[in-house]
C-alpha cells in the first residue's frame, strides 16, 4: 500500500501502481461477478468490469426499465443478463447493488444462494450496519466486502471512458476465505477506482448519509435556495440571481477547486472576492456546524435509516417522491437553471 500525507497525518491507500489491473485480473480470473441491480451503481460498475476483461453477468428483474437499459447497453438475455435469482445462483461474487429498499426485499432470495466461499459485495454499508432494521445478516462462511465509489455510477462510467478514475473507499467486514482483501481490492481496481482508501461498513454509511444530506446535496441545495431567494427579494433578475448563485459556482469556481484546491482559488481571484471569502467562511461554518452535529447524531442513532426504510415501505412512496421532485424542478431557481443551460455556448 502507498502512503498519503495530510499535514502531520499519514494514511495508507491502494493505487493502480501497487495493484495494477493485470494483478486484479489474475486474482479474479476464476470468478463470475454477478452484478445484482442495474439502477444507480450497477451500469457503471458492470460495464467498467466488463471492459476491463472480467467475467461479468447482470441480474435484474425482467420486464423492468432497468432490464431494457441493460439490453440496450449490450447485455444479452440468457448469456450475460439473467433474472436476479438465476444470476445469484451463477455468481461467485454477488455485487449487491440494488437500492437499500431493494436489498431488504430480495435478501431472503439472495441469502439462499450465498453458498460457502462466495463473496457478498456492497457499495453502501447501509444494509449490514443497520441489520436490526434491514434483517441483512450474512452467514459466517462467505466474504463480505465493500467498494464505494465516491460519486454516482454515471460519473464512474464517464470518468472510466475518459481514461480517468473515481476514488473509492473499501472495507472488509468478513473474511471467510482468507482472500477477502485481494478480492475486494481487485474489484475496486476493476470498477475503475482512482485510488482506494480503507474504511469499515459503519464509517462508510455514516459519512455517506451525512454527505448526501449535507455538503453533497441537501446543504448545497439549501444554500443555493437561500442566496437565490434573497437576491430575488432584493430585486435582482432570475438570470442575475441564478448566475451569481449556481452557474458561476458549478461552471467556473468548483472546477478550479477540484483541480487546484480552495487555497489556490482564493489566491487567484480578485482581492475584493478574496477578502470577502476569507472574512465570511468561518461565519458560515459556525452557523451550520450545529446542523451538521444534529444530522450526524440522527445518522449514528439509526433514525435516518428508519426514516428511509419507513418511507420506502409506503405504497404511494413513488407518487409522493415524484411530487417532491416536481416541486424542486418547477421552482423558479431551477427553471432559471434550465433556461441558462440552454444558453451555454455548447448548446447554441
In terms of Cα–Cα distance, which of 80, 84, 82 is closest to 99? 84
Asked about 124 being catalytic, the answer comes back as yes
Q: Is the CB of residue 17 less than 8 Å from the CB of residue 47?
A: no
Residue of 113, 124, 173, 236 with catalytic role: 124
**Distance between CA atoms of residues 183 and 174, nearest Å:** 12
Distances (CA, A) of 132 to 61, 126, 301: 27, 11, 12
SS3 21: helix
DSSP string, 232-277: HHTT--HHHHHIIIIIHIIIIIHHHHHHH-HHHHHHTS-HHHHHHH
Nearest residue to 192 (alpha-carbon basis) of 154, 245, 144: 154
348 Cβ neighbours under 8 A, 6+ residues apart = 342
The H or E element that residue 228 is part of is helix 218-233
Catalytic residues: 124
Amino acid at each position: 500500500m502507498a502512503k498519503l500525507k495530510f499535514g502531520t497525518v499519514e494514511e495508507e491507500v491502494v493505487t493502480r501502481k501497487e495493484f495494477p489491473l493485470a494483478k486484479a485480473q489474475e486474482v479474479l480470473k476464476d470468478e463470475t461477478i454477478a452484478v445484482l441491480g442495474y439502477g444507480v451503481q450497477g451500469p457503471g460498475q458492470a460495464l467498467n468490469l466488463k471492459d476491463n476483461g472480467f467475467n461479468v453477468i447482470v441480474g435484474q428483474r425482467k420486464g423492468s426499465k432497468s432490464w431494457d437499459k441493460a439490453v440496450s447497453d449490450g447485455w444479452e438475455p440468457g448469456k450475460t443478463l439473467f433474472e436476479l435469482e438465476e444470476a445469484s445462483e451463477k455468481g461467485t461474487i454477488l455485487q449487491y447493488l440494488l437500492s437499500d429498499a431493494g436489498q431488504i426485499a430480495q435478501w431472503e432470495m439472495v441469502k439462499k444462494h450465498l453458498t460457502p466461499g462466495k463473496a457478498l459485495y456492497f457499495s453502501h454499508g447501509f444494509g449490514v450496519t443497520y441489520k436490526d432494521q434491514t434483517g441483512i445478516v450474512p452467514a459466517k462462511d462467505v466474504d463480505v466486502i465493500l467498494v464505494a465509489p465516491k460519486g454516482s455510477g454515471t460519473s464512474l462510467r464517464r470518468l472510466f471512458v475518459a481514461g480517468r478514475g473515481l476514488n473509492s473507499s473499501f472495507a472488509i467486514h468478513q473474511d471467510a476465505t482468507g482472500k477477502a482483501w485481494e478480492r475486494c481490492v481487485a474489484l475496486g481496481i476493476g470498477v475503475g477506482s482512482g485510488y482506494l482508501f480503507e474504511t469499515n461498513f459503519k464509517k462508510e454509511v455514516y459519512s455517506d448519509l451525512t454527505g448526501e444530506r449535507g455538503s453533497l446535496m441537501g446543504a448545497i441545495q439549501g444554500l443555493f435556495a437561500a442566496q437565490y431567494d434573497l437576491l430575488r427579494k432584493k430585486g435582482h433578475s432570475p438570470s442575475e440571481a441564478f448566475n451569481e448563485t449556481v452557474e458561476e459556482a458549478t461552471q467556473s469556481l468548483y472546477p478550479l477547486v477540484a483541480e487546484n484546491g480552495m487555497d489556490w482559488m482564493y489566491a487567484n481571484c480578485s482581492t475584493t472576492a478574496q477578502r470577502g471569502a476569507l472574512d465570511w467562511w468561518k461565519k458560515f461554518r459556525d452557523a451550520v456546524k450545529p446542523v451538521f452535529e444534529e444530522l450526524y447524531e440522527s445518522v449514528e442513532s439509526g433514525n435516518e435509516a428508519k426514516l428511509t426504510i419507513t418511507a420506502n415501505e409506503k405504497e404511494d412512496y413513488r407518487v409522493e417522491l415524484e411530487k417532491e421532485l416536481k416541486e424542486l424542478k418547477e421552482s423558479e431557481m431551477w427553471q432559471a437553471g434550465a433556461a441558462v443551460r440552454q444558453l451555454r455556448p455548447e448548446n447554441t
